[in-house]
Amino acid sequence: MTDHPEKVIEVENLVTHYGPRKILDGVSMNVNEGEIMVIMGGSGSGKSTLLRYLMALEHQTSGSIKLLGQDIDTLSQKEMFDLRKKIGVAFQGGALFSSMTVGENIMLPLYEHAELDMMTMEIMARMKLEVVDLAGFEDLMPAELSGGMIKRAAFARAVVMDPKLLFCDEPSAGLDPVVASALDDLILKLRDAMSMTVVVVTHELESVFKIADRVTVLDRGKILFIGTLDELRNSKSERIQNLLNRRPEEDAMDPDEYLRRLTGQEESVGDATL
Amino acid sequence: MAAKDSANGAAKLADRVGRWTVSTVEEVGNGGVLVAESLYWLIMGPSLKQPVRPGAIVVQMMEVGIKAIPIIAMLGGTIGAMLAIQSIYMLRIFGAESQVTYGVAFSVVREFAPLITGILIAGRSGSALAARLGTMKISQEIDALKVMGINPVRFLVVPSLVALVVMVPALTLFNMFVGLFCAGLYINADLGISLAAYFDQTITILSLDDLLHGLGKSVLFALLVGVIGVINGASVTGGAEGVGKVTTRSVVQSISAIIVTDMLFAFMATR
C-alpha cells in the first residue's frame, strides 16, 4: 500500500456473470502509473463490462481487482469512499445531473468531499472548465449543451478532484471527427499536465493510434492481446488484423445449429415441426 | 398430445405464479431494506462524512409539501362539502340533520383527510420520484454518483423520504382544517347552524385519539409512497419506455397500498 504504486490497476483472473451468462472469463491485466491504456474490442466483447468492474460498480464471480494498490473487495465502506475520491470517470453519455447547472455539476465532488468555501470551489470549477475549453458555460443547464460540450463538461467533472486514475467510456462515440480528435488531445493534455493514469474504452481506431501507450484487446470475454501499438500492428493474430482492417468476421456455419436457432428449438431439433 | 399440452400449460402457470410470488416478496423485502438503509444514513451519515444535506431536504419539502397546498386545499374543501351534503341527505331519513357534525367530523379527521392527501401525494410526488430516479439510472447518473463516492441512497432517497414523512402529515392536518371549514360553510347555509356552534361541537366530538389516528395513518402513507416510488425508479430497465412503465406502476401500487393499509389500520385501531 505505497502512495505511488508502480501498477495502478491490477486485475487477476477476473470472472464475471450477467445472470447465468458468463461475460468475462479469466481476464488478467495491469495498468502502469502514468500510462494511457486503451481497452478495445468489438461489440459484446466485454469491454464495457470490464470497465464497470474496474470502476467497482459490480461484484465479480471470482478473481481480484486492485486499484491504486488496494484490493477493492477487502475495503471497508469508508476506505472505498476515500479510494473513489482518487478516481475520476467520464461516462459515455456524460451522465451530468440534469437538475443542476454545468458549474454545479463540476463542483459537486468538491462540495461533497472537500471542506472549501464556495468561492474557492467556484474558482476550481472554472479552472477545470478552462482546461476543457468551456469557460463561461457554467450557468447553463446540461440540456442546453451540444453532445461534444456535454462530454467535455463530463471530463471537467471527472478531473475536478485531481484524480490519480481517470476512466473514459467511449469518449469519441457519436461525435464528429474534429470534436473527437479534440477530445483525444484533451486526454493527452490531462495526462501530461496532471500525470494521471488513464484507461480509455473505445473502438475508434484513429483514437487508439493517437493516444494509446498500450492496448488491451478483448474478444468474447477473454484477453486477446495486451501490448504496445507497434506490437498491435505487427500482431499475427487473424482476429486482431480483422479488427484493425475492419474486416467482418465470418464464422463457419453449422447447418444443424442454424436450423435450431431459426426454429427456436435449442435442445432437440427432432421435435421441430416445420 | 393434448394431455401433454395441458400439463405443460399447468406447469407454465405454476411457474409464473411462483416467479410472481418470489418477485413480490423480494420487492417488499427491498422496501424494508431501503427504509433501514435510509435510517442508517440519516444517523450514521455525518460520522462517515456522508451527511444528509438539510438543503436537499428543504428543496424536497418545497416540492412535495408547499407546492401541493393549493390542490390539497381545493380537494379537501370539496370533500368536506360533499360529506356535509351526503350526511344531511342520509340523516334526513331519521330527521336527525342536526347531528350532521358527528358524521362530518369523524369522516374528515379519521378518514378522508389522510386518504385524499395520501392519494394526491402518490400521484404527484411518488410518480415524480420514480420518474426522476428511473431517468437518472438509465442516463448513468446513479453510477456517476457512486463513482464519485456519493451514496445514492443518502444523496437522493433520504431527502425525499424525510420530506414526505414530514410534509404528508402536515398537509393532512391542513386538509382536515379546510375540509371541516368547508363542511361548516355548507351546514351553515343549509341548516342555519352558526359556524361558531359548529366548531364548538366539532371540538367537543373529536378527541386527540381521532387526530392521532388520522395523522398516524398519513405517516404510513408517506413512507409507502416514498418507498414504492424509489423501488420502482431503481428497478427501471429499457430506456424511456421503461421510465414511463415504472412511473405508472408506482402510482398504481402506491394508491393500492394506501387503500389497503388504510383499511387494515382502521381495523386494528378500532379494536
DSSP lists the bridge partners of residue A66 as A10, A71
Rounded Cα–Cα distance for residues B101 and B83 (Å)? 10
Give the phi and the psi of residue B235 in degrees, each rounded to 5.
-95, 15
Note the pLDDT of residue A273. Answer: 41
Interface test with B, best of A81, A96, A111, A273 (most B CBs within 10 A): A81
C-alpha cell at B79: 370533500
Query: What distance in Å separates residue A6's CA from the closest CA in chain B?
Result: 23
Size of interface A-B (CB pairs under 8 A): 54
Note the pLDDT of residue B247. Answer: 93
Query: What distance in Å separates residue A80's CA from the closest CA in chain B?
Result: 8
Tell me if B135 and A84 make a contact (CB, 8 A cut-off): no
What does the pLDDT look like over A36-56, one tens digit per residue? Answer: 999 988 777 888 888 888 888
Count Cα neighbours of A118 within 13 Å in the Cβ-side half-sphere.
Answer: 2
Give the phi and the psi of residue A160 in degrees, each rounded to 5.
-65, -25
Q: Is 3.40.50.300 the CATH classification of the domain at A1-86+164-173+195-269? A: yes
Residues 6+ apart with CB under 8 A from A204: A172, A173, A180
Per-residue pLDDT band for A268 (boundaries 50, 70, 90) equals very low
Per-residue pLDDT band for B262 (boundaries 50, 70, 90) equals very high
**What separation in angstroms does the CA of B8 have from each of B2, B14, B22?**
10, 10, 21
Highest mean pLDDT among A240-254, B84-98, B165-179: B165-179
Q: What's the alpha-carbon Rg for chain B, to the nearest Å?
A: 23
Nearest beta carbon to residue B48 from set A77, A84, A109: A77
The larger pLDDT score, comparing residue B43 to residue B66, is at B66
What does the pLDDT look like over A55-73, one tens digit per residue? Answer: 888 888 888 888 888 888 8
B123, B112, B28: which is closest to B78 by C-alpha? B112
Pairing mode, if any, of strands A214-219 and A62-67? unpaired
First and final C-alpha spacing in chain A? 64
Rounded Cα–Cα distance for residues A86 and A107 (Å)? 15
What residues of chain B lie within 8 A of the CB of A53, using their CB? none
Q: DSSP alpha helices (H): ranges in chain B?
A: 2-44, 54-64, 69-92, 100-106, 113-121, 127-138, 141-147, 152, 158-191, 195-205, 208-234, 239-270
Rounded Cα–Cα distance for residues B150 and A162 (Å)? 17
Contact, B207 vs B134, CB < 8 A? no
Look up the ipTM and state it. 0.82
Contact, B176 vs B109, CB < 8 A? yes
Tell me if A93 and B139 make a contact (CB, 8 A cut-off): yes
Contact, A126 vs A78, CB < 8 A? no
Residues 6+ apart with CB under 8 A from A90: A151, A154, A155, A157, A158, A166, A167, A168, A169, A171
Q: What's the alpha-carbon Rg for chain A, to the nearest Å?
A: 21
Note the pLDDT of residue A17. Answer: 86
Interface of A with B (CB under 8 A): 55-57, 77-78, 80-85, 87, 89, 91-93, 95-98, 108-109, 112-113, 167
Reported as type and span, the H/E element at residue B237 is none
With a cut of 60, say whether residue B67 has pLDDT above it: yes
Rounded Cα–Cα distance for residues B269 and A225 (Å)? 69
Note the pLDDT of residue A176. Answer: 81
Per-residue pLDDT band for A252 (boundaries 50, 70, 90) equals low
Note the pLDDT of residue B20. Answer: 87
Per-residue pLDDT band for A4 (boundaries 50, 70, 90) equals very low
B144, B264, B12: which is closest to A142 by C-alpha? B144
B51, B43, B132: which is closest to A111 by C-alpha? B51
Note the pLDDT of residue B43. Answer: 85
